[in-house]
């Protein structure tokens, strides 16, 4: 099994995401971009906010 094979959420066909990273070659569905950095940035922001609230309360 190849590494980049993923099922298209629109047509449910297996697509090689290494060859077609953005759009399904069968139905033309545009895959939503996965941004792992967005989650990390949001988590960091929450931590900073908690630290700020914690220290300002003292
Ligand atoms: Zn598709």
CA of 20 to the centre of ligand 1 (A): 11
Q: Where are the beta strands (DSSP E) in the chain?
A: 5-7, 14-16
Reduced DSSP (H G I as helix, E B as strand, rest coil) percent helix, strand, coil of the chain, to 5: 40, 15, 50
- At 11-35, the pLDDT tens digits run 999 999 999 999 999 999 999 876 7
Count of Cβ atoms closer than 10 Å to residue 23 Cβ:
13
CA of 37 to the centre of ligand 1 (A): 26
- How many separate domains does the chain show? 1
For residue 2, pLDDT beyond 60: no
Instruction: Indicate yes or no: pTM above 0.85.
Output: no
Task: Provide the residue range defining the domain that includes 39.
Answer: 5-57
Contact 6, 15 (CB under 8 A): yes
């Amino acid at each position: 099994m190849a590494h980049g094979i993923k099922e298209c959420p629109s047509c449910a066909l297996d697509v090689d995401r290494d060859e077609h990273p953005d759009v399904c070659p069968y139905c033309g569905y545009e895959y939503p971009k996965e941004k792992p950095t967005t989650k990390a940035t949001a988590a960091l922001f929450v931590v900073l906010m908690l630290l700020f609230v914690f220290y300002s309360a003292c």
